[in-house]
Structure 1
Amino acid sequence: MDNQDELRRQRQALKDEMEAADRGEFQAMSGASFVDPKPSEGAGARLRDRSPEGPDLSMVMDIPVRLTLEVGGSDMPIRDLLQLHQGAIVELDRQAGEPLDVLVNGTLIARGEVVVIEDKLGIRLTEVVSQAERLQSLR
């Protein structure tokens, strides 16, 4: 019972805080603070104007991911695959000079071109994929 009463009290305090924010009043309930919204815009303005600090990403910064550069691909029947030998040439579905795909854990994040730096290959990013395109590729 005490736990339910505490939850009701917290819920009511949050509701009061949100109503006060809609009216443009400053109140410090439970130590919370918020940006003063325009009273005429209501809850939509409150959600837009709040500027919470970004998420703390420090815990995920050291997680390793696999970066892959995709030059191109080809579809072929197993019969042709088994006939490949050293020196065989496989035609890819990309034109010469077309940018490579940069994938992180299999998700396209950018496109770029190959560069040589002191006898090592690298990639110069020429286009970073937008968030909308990345989300579309996950579907």
Structure 2
Amino acid sequence: MSQAIDDVSMELTVVLGQTMMPIRHLLKLGRGAVIELDGHQDQPVQIYANGEMIAKGEIMMAGENIAVNITKSVKNYQRT
């Protein structure tokens, strides 16, 4: 059974916030540039799997790593 799981690929995206910026500013950004977002530290983040929102969560520190704690599922799935 674990081999079946090894063959599954999924793109996960965590949205911390959003911003609007002209394309000319985006093209001028260099390595290490900081982009200010509209989100706040305590605001829930949105979690997407393959482009579809599946959950909300919160950002946490796990040692020196940044982690996402899932707090609410927003999708109902049926097992087959």
The structure with more radius of gyration: 1
1:74 offset after TM fit, Å? 1.9
For 1:67, the equivalent position in structure 2 comes to 12
Matches within 5 A, 1:1-139: 62=5, 63-86=8-31, 88-131=33-76
The TM-score, its normalising length taken from structure 2, stands at 0.68
Query: Which digits, 9 at most, give the CA deviation of each residue in 1:57-102, with x for residues without a partner?
Result: x7xx622212221112222111221232455432213233111111
- Name whichever structure is richer in helix by fraction: 1
* Aligned equivalents of 1:74, 1:105: Cα separation in 2: 22
Alignment gaps of 5+ in structure 1 = 1-57, 132-139
The TM-score, its normalising length taken from structure 1, stands at 0.43
Moved more, 65-74 or 82-91: 82-91
CA-based RMSD: 2.2
Instruction: Indicate the structure whose relative CO is greater, using CA pairs within 8 Å and at least 6 residues apart.
Output: 2
Alignment gaps of 5+ in structure 2 = none
In structure 2, give the amino acid aligned to 1:80: H
Query: Which digits, 9 at most, give the CA deviation of each residue in 1:39-74, with x for residues without a partner?
Result: xxxxxxxxxxxxxxxxxxx7xx62221222111222
- Name whichever structure is richer in strand by fraction: 2
Q: How many pairs align?
A: 72
